[in-house]
Homo-oligomer: A and B are copies of this chain.
């Protein structure tokens, strides 16, 4: 006799960030009773909101994240998309303040600036409206006994510890995940964490005033602005309140030189004169004083699950540097992929009452398939994110890069391509196998990673390598640099053609 027979299956989700919330929504739809535990206070309370906002980089949500939201709840996804600001491309600011636009996608698809707090609050509101989901704040997980299916947490209100039994435990508790650390005690987990010797600091551009005196954006809001300076860079993303959140990325050694106000202002004057004018000297210095200099970490793990009862998703499973704008998108995609696998394994607790043994076995199989198939995708995007730092702060300024980008776009429009729109995929997403199709035709890497959730990260990376090899073997890439350097014309022509496409 099984004591759990006929009882409701209970999932605990650790972490009420976007990944934890989407997990709770998805599991609840499959018939699980879901309890979400968050160590921090309710972020919808204003004090903790301010604290949260100071800590994280702005988010860019793109097709993978949107597809994941749509797969779980298309109505909710539509609501979120009303709060975003689409960004068509990068706006490169040169040292003289002159701006050049580089479109992200030959077809004009956009990434979307979204306020992390808004997205998180919206998702929280959604799950609080679901009957079989409960959310507990200020409940910090201390330990998890996976074999006894028992979690110990601290009640931050009462300052006491309590135990929670569970059937399934999902760790969505971020880069410094407690669930991951507990899993490492029972799973032979390969694990790697690497700090890059760079740090970041957040700055702010306030709204300006237009002719009528109404507030207005001081930069084009439909671009991600970049000031690439080779070893460091500044970026800016638009917010709905007409401000821009700026992030300065630089080597720790460079930050060390910016010790006093004069040094900071002089440095901005020589490298970012136009940005300095928009930020203002006083606010700039205040940000240097008040905002933390944060580290950049890359984390890889494998496997992600334990038997039939635990899994880690999002940053808890893979932290990447933020340079491909895929951290959140990948985390939300984790939820979609896991959900597809649970559904493929017919672990739909609402559909029928299975025996516990049957569910346990199917669950173990689904989680194991997740680890086995998802791993190469997560490695790929972690590596691509690292590579993209060099692209953003340096390569975007080089003729060879611009030539390649133009060439990619030409080949893309010439190539035989199946048209792909998100809307066509949305409703059927939960049923397509993953990855669903072989990509055909020539597709730029950025497009595959950012706008094609039907192409897995690993497939995108492999295909990009093949495309580069093709061009190199054809002698096109080698000669491109030469041609650009000697004539200084070809790339200018191509670059301007790219701009005209906007």
Contact = CB atoms under 8 A, between A and B. Distances in A.
Contact of A188 (B190, B191, B192, B195): B195
Count this chain's copies in the assembly.
2
Interface string A191-202: 111110000000
A191 B295 CA distance: 15
Nearest to A181: B181
B193 A295 contact: no
A193 B192 CA distance: 6
A192 B190 CA distance: 8
B195 A192 contact: no
Nearest to A299: B191
A190 B193 contact: yes
A191 B190 contact: no
B188 A295 contact: yes
Nearest to A187: B195
Interface in A371-404: none
Nearest to A252: B188
Contacts of A191: 191-193
A161 to B, nearest CB: 16
A231 to B, nearest CB: 19
Point out which of A188, A190, A192 has the most chain B C-beta atoms below 10 A from its C-beta: A188
A189 B190 CA distance: 16
Contacts of A194: 190, 192
Contacts of A195: 188-190
A193 to B, nearest CB: 5
Contacts of A297: 188
A409 to B, nearest CB: 38
Contacts of A295: 188
A192 B191 CA distance: 6
Nearest to A199: B188
Nearest to A188: B195
Interface string A132-167: 000000000000000000000000000000000000
A332 B244 CA distance: 55
Interface in A247-264: none
Contacts of A193: 189-192
A192 B300 CA distance: 9
Contacts of A188: 195, 295, 297
Interface of A: 188-195, 295, 297
Given A190-B193, A191-B192, A192-B194, 8 more contacts: A188-B295, A189-B193, A189-B195, A190-B194, A191-B191, A191-B193, A192-B192, A192-B193
14 contacts: A188-B195, A188-B295, A188-B297, A189-B193, A189-B195, A190-B193, A190-B194, A190-B195, A191-B191, A191-B192, A191-B193, A192-B192, A192-B193, A192-B194
